[in-house]
Chain A
Amino acid sequence: MTTKTIKQIQQGLAQKEFSSVEITRQYLDRIDSYNSTINCFITVTDELALQQAKTADAVIARGEAGTLTGIPLAHKDIYCTDGIKTSCASRMLDNFIAPYDATIIEKFRQGGAVMLGKTNMDEFAMGSSNENSYYGAVANPWDFERVPGGSSGGSAAAVAASLAPGATGTDTGGSIRQPAALCGISGIKPTYGCVSRYGMVAFGSSLDQGGPLARSAEDCAILLQAMAGFDPRDSTSIDREVPDYSEQLNDDIRGLKIGLPKEYFAEGLDADVARVIETAIQEYRRLGAEIVDIGLPNANLAIPVYYVVAPAECSSNLSRFDGVRFGHRCDNPVDLEDLYKRSRDEGFGDEVKRRIMIGTYVLSAGYYDAYYLKAQQLRRLIKQDYEKAFQQVDVILCPVTPEVAFKQGAKTDDPVSMYLQDIYTLALNLAGLPGMSIPAGFSQELPVGMQLIGNYFDESRLLNVAHQFQQATDWHLKTPELA
């Protein structure tokens, strides 16, 4: 039962094949069996889940069910959940019980969804391997010795291991798409401003965007529908009508123009990953799409620009953690400065500290123009590359990562080698564009993801293009056999 898609669970609940309490119990049992090995949940909200499921069953019995009523879901531990620990996988927030709900959590609660728990992640969403967590690394369900990707690694691993049919994530530089790819599931990072950031612990405010991870593009459409929408409490939220994301899923894609950026198929891409992507491209040809070669000449700038902009914004956002109002406080501070410095030293992990320091440096007097301002200028050039590309093509297709899931510990000693993992995913966040990762095949018995990039607010088309691929292939239905 736990390998069902959200769409199938909706149908099963509607036709009374099973109750929400029954299916919720199954997921909780599975979490109980496998979480100690995979470590994808930081908090399991079993009592709340069963209570919500019971309420949902009553709503279903009255014939008042909505699309999410009784659907069990997991939430990344970056979203504030009223009365429930919201740690961001940091010692800094180990004792933090959020006093309010994030907008998207409120939407899921109101929609009658069931919360299974809060998922593990890289601390404050900084990382590409889920090894930067105060609660320990997360195992990739396809190979427990390997990383699930990050930062939404717990959410991706939970869905891949069938511990939840869907989960929320956030994506600042690839944090939904990269773990979705490495765990063999589907995930979408919407256009910047599409999903409210209210109550989502901030990392890089001009880059952060929430989105769903699930088994299929069809399920992503259902979850995105619940998450998207204008929110006056988020000053960067875009006031725009939310389309029906499922409406175009079955549209024919004959004549669709798919662009292949040559820069993303160049040196550095693993040959076997390239082979899998090439096979997927052939599938799109068979479906009647037209494949067009395009160029994104400033693609190589995404990494340097991102690793200036994201740390700069992180250093500013994380200055709120001062040990005074909430979060970790050191023992016996001698004065206020000692309180700040030791609380922050003890509360933050190594990668978070590195990024705070890089950010502090690039924003400091005398360096602002050379780094931050320069990066914001280059950001426009990166965006213009995509604008030009979208005059030629409808969607862009490329790899998500240069290689399949790597072994735990392989890149932890060298931050820069870890950053290079994000080479194909960062530009989207810099430009604010939507992107998806869907399973494209396997290499060395590990999943390979394919990235689809759309124009601004073209999520419906992305979901359509992904769904059509999933109608013609069954890579997204593969599940790992857990030992």
Chain B
Amino acid sequence: MTLKNEDVRNIAQLARLQISDSAIEQLTTDLSNILALAEQMKAVDTSNVTPMAHPMDATQRLRKDEVTEIDERDKFQGIAPDVESGYYRVPKVIE
């Protein structure tokens, strides 16, 4: 799989990563090389194989729908970049 610079820009947009123009060429090469490694998977026929989601084929446990967490807003917001009156502040989203 050979990617183009434009593909890498699209992936970066999906991943919400700012990629500088100077880094794009190298990144395109690196990502293409990694995907070339992944291409080796194509050699094996897996048409009748069930995908494996968990090594022990375990399923998600359920618990009773009870409140188990306590309110620790002040503690959690103590490490936030920008808060005001218990809210997280971000740049204006709606004009």
Contact = CB atoms under 8 A, between A and B. Distances in A.
B44 A345 contact: no
Interface in A176-202: 191-193
A356 B17 contact: yes
Contact of A341 (B8, B17, B90): B17
Contacts of B16: 319, 322, 337, 340-341, 344
B18 A307 contact: no
B18 A364 contact: no
A377 B46 CA distance: 6
B93 to A, nearest CB: 5
A305 B41 contact: yes
B55 A432 contact: yes
A345 B16 CA distance: 9
A333 B91 contact: yes
Contacts of A336: 90-91, 93
A416 B60 contact: no
Interface size grouping (class) on chain A: 35 or more
B6 to A, nearest CB: 13
B67 interface: no
Interface size grouping (class) on chain B: 35 or more
A456 interface: yes
Contacts of B51: 373, 376-377, 379-380
Contacts of B60: 235
A383 B38 contact: no
Interface string B60-95: 110100000000100110111110000010111100
Given A319-B16, A345-B19, 12 more contacts: A192-B54, A192-B55, A235-B60, A239-B61, A301-B44, A323-B81, A324-B88, A326-B81, A335-B91, A336-B91, A358-B31, A374-B46
In the A-B complex, the 6 residue pairs with the closest CB atoms:
A432-B55, A376-B51, A329-B81, A377-B46, A345-B18, A341-B18
Interface of B: 8, 11-12, 14-20, 27, 30-31, 33-35, 37-42, 44, 46, 49-56, 58, 60-61, 63, 72, 75-76, 78-82, 88, 90-93
20 contacts: A192-B54, A239-B61, A298-B44, A304-B41, A308-B41, A324-B88, A326-B76, A326-B80, A329-B81, A335-B93, A336-B90, A336-B91, A341-B16, A341-B17, A357-B8, A357-B11, A357-B17, A358-B31, A376-B52, A377-B49
